[in-house]
Structure 1
Amino acid sequence: MPADDSEILPSTLLSAENLRTNAVFAHAIRHSRLALCITDPSQPDEPIVFANPAFSDLTGYAEEDFIGKNCRFLQGPETTEESLKQIREALNSDGVAMVEIVNYRKSGEKFINALQIGPVFDEDGNLIFHFGSQMDISTAREKERQMSALKTNELLHRLKNIVNVMTVVIEMTGRSATDTAAYSKRIAERLRALGQAHFATISNDEPKVLHLDELAKMLLLAYAPLGEKQVRLNGDTFAVPGQYMTAITLLLHELATNAVKHGSLRVEEGIVDLTWNTDDPSVLALRWSEHNGPAVIPPSRESGSKIISSLVRASGGTLTFDWHPEGLVADLTLPIVTKKTD
C-alpha cells in the first residue's frame, strides 16, 4: 500500500483545492476496519483501482492480486445468480444498495458477504467510480439458521406431545363420565385450553407481559385432566422477562406432557406442585414436584429435555432432573432480576 495517505485514492479525486480534505478522508478509509474497494467503470471490465488493508484482511488477497481485476474473482461454486443479478441492477441504477452474496477467500474458504455498493460522482454529476464495502456476516447467519432449526424441532415436538396428551386426557375424562353430553363438553374444553396454551406461547408476535403465576396456571390447567384439583401453584408474583419466556414455557410444556403420559397427572390422585421464589433478587428458582403418581422410571433418552436444556444454558441458567421413585423433581434457576408487583 502507498505510504502517503494522500495517494491512496485515485488521482482524479484530488485537486489543489480539496487535496487536504481528501488526504484526511483517505487516511480514514485506509485505517478503517471496514473492508472497502473502489472500481473504475470507465475502464474495460470495471477493475478495482483501490482497496484498503481491511479488504486484504477479509479476503486474504494481497494488493497485487486484485488491482486491475474485476471483483468477480471473489465468486465461487455457491455464489448465486440471483445475488449477481442484484449487483448488476444496483450498478446500473446509480443508487446505493445492499446485497448478500457468497464470496470466497484466497484460501478457498467461503463467507457470506454483506456487500454495500454505490456510485461516486464528480462535481459535474458524472459517474467516475463505484465503491463497495464488505462485511463477513457468516457467523450471524449461522446463528439464525441454528435458532430456526431449534424452533422447528420445538414445534414438531409440541405437536407430537399434543396428540399424546389428548389421548390420555380423553381416557382419564372418560373413566368418570356418566353423561355423553358432559363428557363431550369436557373434552372440547380440554382441547380448547390446550390449543390456547400452545398458540399463546408459540406466536411470532411480540409476547405480552405475563406473570409466572398466570403463565403456569394457563399451561398446567390445560394439561391436567382433572383441572385445578391436580395442580398447586405457590410463588411470588412477578413478570417473566421476554428473553426467558421461551425457556420457561417450553420447560412447563415438557414437564406437563411427561406428567400426563408417565407421571402424576396420569392418575386421578396425582398432584403437581410448582413453586418458585426470588429470595435472591438476581435469581429465579423454580421447582416442579410430582406426588401420588405411578412409580417413576427414569427415561432412557433425552428427547424434549435436550431442547430445553440448550435453551436454559443459552440463558445462563441451570436445569436438573431428579427422578425420585415417588415423583419427578425438576429444579430450574435463571439469572434474572425480577420486578415484584403489588
Structure 2
Amino acid sequence: MATGRKNNDTDQPQLDTEREGQGAGVPATGNLFFAAVEMTRMPMVVTDPHQPDNPIAFVNDAFLDMTGYEEAEVLGRNCRILQGPETDSETVAEIRTALAEQRAVAVDILNYKADGTPFWNALFIGPIFDSRGRLIHWSSSQMDITRRRMSEQSLRQAQKMEAIGQLTAGLAHDFNNLLQAISGNLELAAHHAAGHPVLESAIERASRAAHKGGCLTQQLLTFARKQRLDPRRVNLNTLVVEFSEMLVRSMGGQVELQLDLHPGLPACVVDPTHLQMALLNVVINARDAMPQGGRATVGTSVVQDARRTDAHPLPAGGCVVLWVADQGRGMTSEVRRRAIEPFFTTKEPGTGLGLAMVHGFVQQSHGRLEIDSAPERGTTVRMIFPVAQDRAAGAAPPAMPAVRTGPDTATILLVEDSEDVRQVADHYLRSLGYQVLAASSGEEALDLLAHAGGVDLLFTDVIMPGGMNGLQLAERVRQRQPGLPVLLTTGYMDELASQGAQLPSMAVLGKPYRRNELAESIRTALGRTPAPAGQEG
C-alpha cells in the first residue's frame, strides 16, 4: 500500500485502469488514459488492485525523475517501497482506510527516494471505475513539496519563538530588577555578615539562587533571540583551542574529549562569548548522553555540499561548521524533532533550554543548527555560520568618548525608576568612591543636571515609565554635555537592538550585576585605568 499524510506523498495506492489484454476487458479509452498519464509532467503512478498487494502497474518519467528509481525497480512492487523510518504511521493508516472504502484521499507524506533522501510528497489518490462502477485501477498524482514544508516548519518555529520571546521580554525587565535588588542587598548583607558562619552560608546560598535566576532569564532571552550580541571576526579553531581546558573540565573523568580541527579554516563573524556558552551546552549534552563513559569530538569543517547550503538557506560566500559528535545513546526521531523546543527535556532535572538557547543564538548569528542522531548511534550537532566577508575585517573600534577633566572623584548621574534597585546602585557607587546624583526618571535627571552644572558619567536604566527612556535621556544629556560617557543598564536588550546605531559610544551593563562588575564598567566607560579613592572598601 501507499504511505501518506494529508496532502503529500509519493507512496500511494494507485488506480487500476486495465489495458487491453489485462483481465476483464477495458474500455477503449484505457489506452488513452495511460498515454495521458505518460505524457503529463506531474509524477503519476497507476496500481492494479486485482493483483496481490496492489502492485504498481505503470509509472511515468516524471515519477522516476522525482524518486530516482528505474522503472524496472518499481513495476510489480507496492508503493510502500517509498516509505521509511519516519513515515507517519497514521498517514499510512489513513490511506489504507481510503483504499478499503474505494474513495479518494489527499495527504502529505514523508517518503524516501531511491538513494534514501527523505522528501515530502503531496499525494492525491483516486479510484478508477469502469462503466459498470467496478474498481479497475488506482491512480495517484504526486508532487515534491519539501521546500514548502520546510518553509512552513520554519514559520511555525519562528512564531513559537516570537510568542515565547514576547512573554519573556515582558517579564525580563521587571524580573531582573527584582533579582538586582535581591542580589545587590545580599551582597551588602554579606559584607556585614563577616564572621557569622551561619549568616554567611545562608547569604551565599541565596546569592547562588539569585544568580541562577538571572541565568535562567538570560537563557530565555537567548532562546527568543532577544539578547544583545557583540559579533566579532572569529576563527573557530582558535576559539575551540582557547576554550578546550573548560570543555575538558566539563567532561568529568569518564568521557574523553578529542579535537578534529580543519586546517586553514576561514573566519566567521559571531559573538565569541555566546558561542563558547553554546558550545559548552552542546558538550555537556554529549557528556550526559554517555553516563557510562565514551568519547566526544569537537571539530570544525567547511560546508562543501551545495544541497545543504541551499536547504538552509545561507548567505553566499561559503560556510564554516563547529560540530560536536558523541557516542551516546542517541535520540529517537520524535526527540530529535523536538530537541530545540523550549522546556522540552529528557533529563531529570532539566530546564529544556540548552539546545533551545543554542538554536536561538545560531539563528541570531545568521547561521543554522543541524542535529543528526539515531538510537544507539550517537548524536552530531552542527552550528553552521557564514564565512566572514573581507569587508568585515579590520573594522576600527569606536573611539572612546572624552572624559570631563576635574577632581579625582567623578560625579555620576544615576537614573533608575525602581527605588530598591536605585538604592543598591547608589550604595555601590558611593562605596566605590564616586559622588552620586540619583533620579527616578529622565525628567528628574534633567532637573538635577541643570542645577549640578555637569557630571562625569550618566548611568541610566534603559526602560523606564513615563515619556522618556534611557536612550532618549542620554541624547538629551549629550545635547548639554557633548561626548559625555554613558553607561546603560537593562535586564532586557530588545530595545537596544532597535537603537543599534546609537550604541557604539554607550556601554551596556546587564542586570542583575554585581558590585565588581559595576566598578569595571564604570572605569571602562570613564576611560580610566586606576580606581577612584576608596573603591575596594
Q: TM-score, normalised by structure 2?
A: 0.33
